[in-house]
Amino acid sequence: MSKVLYEKDIQKEVLQAKKVAVVGYGSQGHAHALNLRESGYDVVVGLRPGKSQQKAEADGFQVLPVADAVKQADVVMVLLPDEHQTAVYEESIKPNLDAGNAIAFAHGFNVHFSQIVPPSDVDVFLVAPKGPGHLVRRTYEDGGGVPSLYGVYQDVTGDAKELALAYAQGIGSARAGVLETSFQEETETDLFGEQAVLCGGLTSLVKAGFETLTNAGYQPEVAYFECLHEMKLIVDLMYEGGLENVRYSISDTAQWGDFVSGPRVVNDETKERMKEILAEVQSGEFAKGWILENQANRPQYNAINAKESKHQIEQVGKELRELMPFVKQPLQKDEKNEQKDVKAHVTN
Ligand SMILES: NC(=O)C1=CN([C@@H]2O[C@H](COP(=O)(O)OP(=O)(O)OC[C@H]3O[C@@H](n4cnc5c(N)ncnc54)[C@H](OP(=O)(O)O)[C@@H]3O)[C@@H](O)[C@H]2O)C=CC1
Ligand SMILES: CC[C@](O)(C(C)=O)C(=O)O
Ligand SMILES: [Mg+2]
Ligand SMILES: [Mg+2]
């Protein structure tokens, strides 16, 4: 089994002596900056003028243009959207890195797919939380942490691994567990996981179930509760105790249905599609498509996003959630950076 590291395994001193520039203050950026500061580390935030800048200032950070934040820092964590990192790196980060600095990422995409080629005289590492940024923050505030992977791409100082581990400790991940990886493994597994299972797989499964019930004439409200709302309750059981815990809590009737019907939905053909998706991630085909989509100003992304937001499940869900005040409301459009449009991130 892989070695999982915790607080007791980590030397914090290596990062305590340094200044960290967190570049970006979105989902991951705000969580890293706030958690690191509360863990006792020295943080400056690098941003362009705008909403994030105002938010970071309101949270009490010194906020500087990216180039100036990089000049001041020993460790630069790049928490910009993947598709904007290369341009900001070339213009504002690379020219201001000093020999012996460290540059870090929360996802290996740009380094692994050679969109960013760091200079040979800096440390390069990643600390990739295995969870959304708003939960990296909320879990830390609750006294817990989101597990992270760490990986070293380049170690010129001899300290890159210890720096990565101290950084992971700073954002709270060592409370939950920190595991070693490579940029390749983190990039490929993260892209596969979000496409096939956590995001693409899950949303497609929920919509397919909802559409099957409503097309058969059942009430949309019943279909929403059955296929979307209850998903969280089942996933909570899975998070707490694995598949076994789900099966312990559900009825025997549900468990029998799980055994005999689940594999008919997610079957060998589904696994073949998963293998195709993994192959496209590994070959760089997915990355190339995403880079080109951005260069063309996202025609497909925007069209699909607009269509998805009009799906009946979203309309029904909005009405039902208004009657459930204990269900947290998603962020409003103007609270998020505008490139992402309305994305129902978990509230912080
Ligand atoms: N979202 C997540 O939970 C996870 C993300 N990651 C990785 O973390 C990284 C950050 O992703 P995420 O947190 O989702 O990003 P977000 O889209 O949430 O945040 C983007 C931030 O970058 C700023 N920004 C955008 N463009 C520029 C620019 N040109 N110059 C300066 N600042 C800019 C935005 O500020 P402004 O308000 O000015 O637009 C905003 O503060 C990515 O590598 C991603 O793959 C890894 C694990 C999970
Ligand atoms: C699952 C999506 C994710 O990979 C994440 C929150 O870890 C992302 O890129 O946002
Ligand atoms: Mg991820
Ligand atoms: Mg990801």
Taking residue 63's Cβ as centre, other Cβ atoms within 10 Å add up to 23
Whether the predicted pLDDT of 193 surpasses 60: yes
Average pLDDT, the chain: 95
User: Looking at residue 324, what DSSP letter applies?
Assistant: -
How far is Cα 18 from Cα 46, in angstroms, rounded to an integer? 16
pLDDT digits (tens, 9 = 90+) for 6-19: 999 999 999 998 99
Q: Is the CB of 296 under 6 A from ligand 2?
A: no
CB 6 within 8 Å of CB 170: no
Q: Where are the domains of the chain?
A: 4-181, 199-266+297-340
Angle at the Cα of 255 (from 252 to 261), degrees rounded to 5? 135
pLDDT digits (tens, 9 = 90+) for 82-126: 999 999 999 999 999 999 999 999 999 999 999 999 999 999 999
pLDDT digits (tens, 9 = 90+) for 20-57: 999 999 999 999 999 999 999 999 999 999 999 999 99
CA dihedral (242, 245, 246, 251) in degrees, to 10, reads 160
- Whether 134 is catalytic: no
pLDDT digits (tens, 9 = 90+) for 247-302: 999 999 999 999 999 999 999 999 999 999 999 999 999 999 999 999 999 999 99
Q: Write phi, then psi, for 147 (nearest 5 degrees).
A: -60, 150
How far is Cα 35 from Cα 21, in angstroms, rounded to an integer? 13
Residue 331: predicted pLDDT: 59
105: which strand partners?
78, 126
Whether the predicted pLDDT of 340 surpasses 50: no
CB 125 within 8 Å of CB 94: no
Which residue has a Cα nearest atom 14 of ligand 1? 27
Query: Has 258 been labeled as part of a binding site?
Result: no
ipTM value, please give it.
0.99
Whether the predicted pLDDT of 333 surpasses 70: no
Q: Tokens 């249905």 label which residue?
A: 257
Q: For the domain 4-181, what is the CATH code?
A: 3.40.50.720
Q: What is the pTM of this model?
A: 0.95
Q: Is 78 helix (H, G, I), strand (E, B) or coil?
A: strand
Q: Tokens 């595991």 label which residue?
A: 179
Query: Has 309 been labeled as part of a binding site?
Result: no
Say how many Å lie between the CA of residue 193 and the centre of ligand 4.
8
Whether the predicted pLDDT of 181 surpasses 90: yes
CB 23 within 8 Å of CB 47: yes
Q: Which of 135, 194, 337 to mutate to test the pocket of ligand 2 (most atoms within 8 A of CB)?
A: 194
pLDDT digits (tens, 9 = 90+) for 209-225: 999 999 999 999 999 99
Q: CA gyration radius for the chain? A: 21
CB 261 within 8 Å of CB 212: no
Angle, helix 312-322 to helix 200-215, in steps of 10 degrees? 90
Q: What whole-number percentage of the chain has pLDDT above 70?
A: 94
**Segment 54-70 mean pLDDT:** 98
Residue 95: predicted pLDDT: 98
Residue 339: predicted pLDDT: 39
Which residue has a Cα nearest atom 7 of ligand 2? 131
CB 183 within 8 Å of CB 111: yes
User: Which ligand 2 atom sits nearest the alpha carbon of residue 193?
Assistant: 1
Q: Write phi, then psi, for 84 (nearest 5 degrees).
A: -105, -5
CB 85 within 8 Å of CB 110: yes
Q: Select which of 30, 107, 112, 134 is catalytic.
A: 107
> How sure is the predictor about 332, in pLDDT bands with cuts at 50, 70 and 90?
low
End-to-end CA distance of the chain: 34
Nearest to 200, CA basis, from 55, 304, 72, 68: 304
Percentages helix, strand, coil for the chain, rounded to the nearest 5?
A: 60, 10, 30
Which uninterrupted H or E stretch holds 77? Answer: strand 75-78
> How sure is the predictor about 160, in pLDDT bands with cuts at 50, 70 and 90?
very high
How far is Cα 33 from Cα 52, in angstroms, rounded to an integer? 12
